[in-house]
Structure 1
Amino acid sequence: MSVSLNLVDTSGDTDDYESALESTPVQSFSTNERTISETEPASSIAIVKERWTNLLAYWLLGLTNNFAYVIMLSAAHDILSQDFNKDGVSLPENTTNSSNPRDCNPMSTGTILLADIIPSLIMKIFAPFMWSHVHLRVGTVVMLCMLSFLLVGEAVSENMAIIGVICASASSGLGEVTFLSYTAKFHRNVVSTWSSGTGAAGLFGALSYAGLTSAGLTPRTTVLLMLIIPVIMALSFWLLLKHPNQTRLCGSRHNYKIIRQDDEDNVEAKDFEVSLRFSEKMELLPSLLKYMIPIALVYIAEYVINQGLAELIYFPSEKGWLNHHEQYRWYQATYQLGVLISRSSVNFFYIRQIWITSVLQWINVLIFLTCAIFWWISSIWVILFLILWEGLLGGAAYVNTFYKITNEVNDHQKPFAMAITTLSDTVGVTIAGFISIPLHNVICHLPM
């Protein structure tokens, strides 16, 4: 009895075994020599429709994964000024600290930033080495996201609100590692739609919070309305996304089908996946630093601005239509608009030298630092323009970094490279949080 064994690579643009079988015939291999031929998927309307469905699903996953994180940062000024001893009712928004002409919160919004990023950092450190069942991971992400909105919206103490922020951070961190690693099993353009979705989360999150609170809803009610977000995430992942047969996050070289056919035409098919060993992951790390260091520097700079300096740049002359709370919220919305534009631009404008964004972002730090100390910029519109520019640089650094990885890193190394590089922006934000708190305190005690 003769036996023919064929390998069909199913890790390309299609995830269907049937599509692989319909493609160009593959070469067989004998017991002495094996030849693997990567085949082009059969072109069909169904495959094109599936690809577009996956692109939309990843845009929605990017949107919902980052939404809670953005909401917590937009609400940072409100969370820290709540009077939890009076049935959780917020202080009036026109209340100011008369003893401090700079109108500073006693605690920097960098505190919320740390609560919103350290759990994410922990998740990103361990997630690439954790369990690889994607459905279990995503279920955890959805539950943490839902819990974050409930805890902050119903908080009766500052600690309870901070725990809610921590849940949002853990959800976002685990989700980013999981979804970006999972992109290796789909068409590479899902990376750009994911990035666009995360940018949209920034804009829609900041705009929805600023808009709803400006319309008269309390910060608590606004946060509770956001419970729709984890529901959309679940529907996008489990109903809209077309999953491959193999859904483990193992950093595979390729997903193959082994086709075994004997004389009786009995066919046996079996998936197998080749994973990176721990030692291979450690050997790969140094080569990834060229992606990780520039994006970390960009994120340190922009979050020092957002959470350490922006809240200190206040225009009393605008109080007739925007008080301090509202100015901070619209700073966040403007920043997220810049992020959305740049994160959606990689297919039109590809930046290969990512370090340029680092240099430009640190120039922004100097501008905002001197403005927070000396108040030499007299127009809120100039600040809004600078914040928009800051967001453009930050979003460009993010999407171009991951797009470069998609184009330059070998397929079998790509899932791990994607997952571990997400650590760099989180490390940058964490460092920025620790810088922001003492920086805030020093500037608040300076004379006008």
Structure 2
Amino acid sequence: MPIEPEQVELHTRNNMVHETPYDSSIRERMEEDDDLGLSEGENKDSPEMIRQRRSLFRLSLSFFLFGLINNVLYVIILSAALDLVPPSTPKGIILFWNIAPSIVAKFSWPYILKGRIRYTRRLIGCCFLSVTGMIVVATSAGLSARLFGIGCASFAAGLGELTFLQLSTTFHPPSVAGRGVGYFASGTGAAGLAGAFLWWEIRGLGVRIGVGLSSVLPFVIPLTYFLLLPRPHAFSALVLPEIEDFASSRTEYAQLPVSEEDAGGAVVEPLPLTTKALSIGDKWQLLKPMIPRYMMPLFFVYLFEYTINQGVAPTLIYPIPTLESSPVFGRIIYSIRDYYPLWQLVYQSTVFLSRSSLSLGLPALPTRAISIPSIIQGFLLITLSSESALGYFPDSLAPGLVFLLISVEGICGGLSYVNAYFRAGQEPADAQERAFKMGAIGLADSLGILAASLVAMPTEISLCRAQVARGRSLCQEL
């Protein structure tokens, strides 16, 4: 189907959102239209073009906010791990309770439950659970009550993540859905940066006030859903280039029926139901090729990544640097308790940059390359664990070297996440199958984090004992 001039202008002259990988060939089409004699300003300010340009911006901003708010509480809890448990308690227990309920949500909804997705009910329920969980954490002094509150927020975050990824599949054409995935991933990366930085700044207020203030953040999600997110069919007239991995095998898109309740703030005409619900056998056939292609790389990259963050990073502690020995770290490290939140902030910053790669216009990784970040992550785990146990980095250089390695860790984790979901969302499938795929993949990264939480606890204890055995007891002073 030829691209109309208005559609060309919409994507090439759009200054409100970044050009994405699947928009890059538009400029060539624009040059072809110029050769046909189209004037430079013809129809560039048509009402329809302005409306769709605004809709693209609203879509991008909505999914960015969904990712940001859905994940920010999760990051705050991890960043506050040192303050939520007694010094003698392994910090991995926080990671376990921050991810296990999320796995229950990610397994129950896409794999077991059938029927149409009730987005409105889901998101209101997630908001309520998140707020309740954070209030329980803020007002409770006992460890058991705090873990229960963390579990409530975890369940809400897990259900919210798969819901937003599935919500992206209701937008047509698939390249617009891909934009939603890219900006959602960017938002989740920003959540890591915002959450780690926010706790760095407010941790002096204590758990009660600091965590209590964060409990108001989930209300942004329903406000965005009802007031900002455009209608699912707002982009049905757009024609965008195909994604290179799957362009040759693209099949006809069939939008799932959307009711008024499921449309958020926009009322959409319901479509007749023409497909039956996926059976267990159908789901297994869809799942099998995704296991080696997307799910195994995600599982291992998160297993290695969170073992580093929760099992190794708490033991990467060095003497407090002076301004003479380290002009940079001497200005930001005033206590040995500053190392752990600093490593979290470094990690989350680089995750944000890598998860934003698509929304910043960088090309997506080929499907066959999605496993590379997990391989690099394995080498990083070995290197940092060895440094913690043996201490072969000189104290004067160690903070900088750890800073560099954790930066690479964050880049690998972010690239694996955004590219796996993006490629899965662009595979040829009808809307119902695509929604299942987007929801089902999330089980892999959550299982990786859960496994890491179980590995991280004995890892932290073992590494601390190894440090004590070689005469360094800083890990026991936290």
On whether the aligned pair clears a TM of 0.5, the verdict is yes
| SS of residue matched to 2:271 | strand
- 1:304 pairs with 307, 311, 317, which one? 307
Match of 1:295 in 2: 298
User: What is residue 318 of structure 1 aligned with on the other side?
Assistant: 321
How does 1:387-398 map onto structure 2 within 5 Å? 387-398=406-417
Contact 1:59–1:196, Cα closer than 8 Å, also in 2: yes
Aligned pair in 2 of structure 1 residues 256, 233: CA closer, same or farther (>3 Å)?
Answer: closer
Deviation at 1:225, TM superposition (A): 1.2
Cα deviation for residue 444 of structure 1 reads 2.5
Corresponding position of 1:337? 349
**Alpha-carbon distance between aligned partners in 2 of 1:171 and 1:164, rounded to the nearest angstrom:** 11
1:109 alignment partner AA: K
Q: Which residue of 1 aligns with 2:451?
A: 431
- Counterpart residue identity of residue 277, structure 1: L
**Does structure 1 residue 205 correspond to structure 2 residue 195?**
yes
Distance 1:233 1:341 in 2: 23
2:272 alignment partner, SS class: strand
Equivalent residues of 2:99, 2:449 under 8 A apart: yes
Taking the aligned partners of 2:320 and 2:337, their CA distance within structure 1 comes to 14
CA contact (8 A) 2:170 2:255 kept: no
Q: CA deviation at 1:440?
A: 1.8
Could you say which residue in structure 1 is the equivalent of 2:152? 167
Q: Counterparts in 2 of 1:65-104, with a 5 A limit?
A: 65-81=70-86
Q: Within 5 Å, which residues of 2 pair with 1:190-201?
A: 190-201=180-191
Asked if structure 2 preserves the Cα contact closer than 8 Å seen for 1:313 and 1:375, the reply is no
1:277 Cα offset (Å):
1.5
Indicate if the aligned counterparts of 1:153 and 1:223 stay in contact, CA closer than 8 A: yes
Task: Look up the SS of the partner of 2:208 in the other structure.
Answer: helix
Structure 1 CA distance for aligned equivalents of residues 214 and 270 of structure 2: 43
1:371 aligned onto 2:393: no
Q: Deviations over 1:257-294 (max 9, x none)?
A: 9xxxxxxxxxxx86123244222112111011111111
Match of 1:126 in 2: 108
Paired with 2:386 and 2:82, the residues of 1 have a C-alpha distance of 22
| Identical residues among aligned pairs (%) | 30
Match of 1:63 among 56, 68, 73: 68
Give the letter for the 1:240 counterpart.
Answer: L
User: Aligned partner of 2:59: which letter?
Assistant: N
Structure 1 match to 2:230: 242
What is the TM-score when the length of structure 2 is the normalising length? 0.73
Amino acid at match of 1:441: I
| Structure with the higher fraction of residues in strand conformation | 1
Q: 1:287 to 1:45 in 2, by over 3 A?
A: same
- CA gap of 1:275–1:386, structure 2 versus 1, over 3 A, is farther
1:393-408 matched pairs, under 5 angstroms:
393-408=412-427
**Alignment check: 8 A CA contact 2:308 2:381 kept:** yes
Aligned twin of 1:95: none
Secondary structure of the residue aligned to 2:392 is: coil
For residue 5 of structure 1, what is the aligned residue in structure 2?
none
CA contact (8 A) 2:301 2:374 kept: yes
> What is the match of residue 441 of structure 1?
461
Decide which moves more: 437-446 or 64-73: 437-446
Q: Give 1:272's aligned residue.
A: 272
Q: Which structure: greater helix fraction? A: 2
Could you tell me how far apart the structure 2 residues matched to 1:330 and 1:444 are? 19
Contact kept, 8 Å, 1:78 with 1:325, in 2: the verdict is: no
**For 1:401 and 1:133, how far apart are their aligned partners in 2?**
25
Residue 399 of structure 1, CA deviation: 0.2
Contact 1:342 1:395 in 2 (8 A): yes
Q: Which amino acid in the other structure matches residue 458 of structure 2?
A: P
Amino acid at match of 1:322: Y
1:255, distance to aligned residue in structure 2 (A): 3.9
Are 1:358 and 2:374 counterparts? Answer: yes
Q: Distance in 2 between matches of 1:391 and 1:106?
A: 28
String of CA shifts for 1:230-267, please: whole Å, max 9, x gaps: 12122111211124489xxxxx942479xxxxxxxxxx
Aligned to 2:215, which of 222, 227, 231? Answer: 227
- Asked whether the 8 Å contact 1:406–1:414 carries over to 2, the reply is yes
In structure 1, C-alpha distance between the alignment counterparts of 2:145 and 2:336, rounded to whole Å: 25
**1:160 & 1:374 partners in 2: Cα distance?**
37
8 Å CA contact 1:203, 1:333 repeated in 2: yes
CA distance in 2 between partners of 1:406 and 1:232 (Å) = 26
Greater Rg by CA: 1
Structure 2: 5+ residue stretches without partners: 1-9, 11-46, 235-252, 259-268, 323-329, 471-478
Q: How many corresponding residue pairs?
A: 367
Which residue of 49, 53, 56 maps to 1:48? 53
2:62–2:229: 8 Å Cα contact kept in structure 1? yes
Root-mean-square deviation (CA, aligned residues, Å) is 2.2
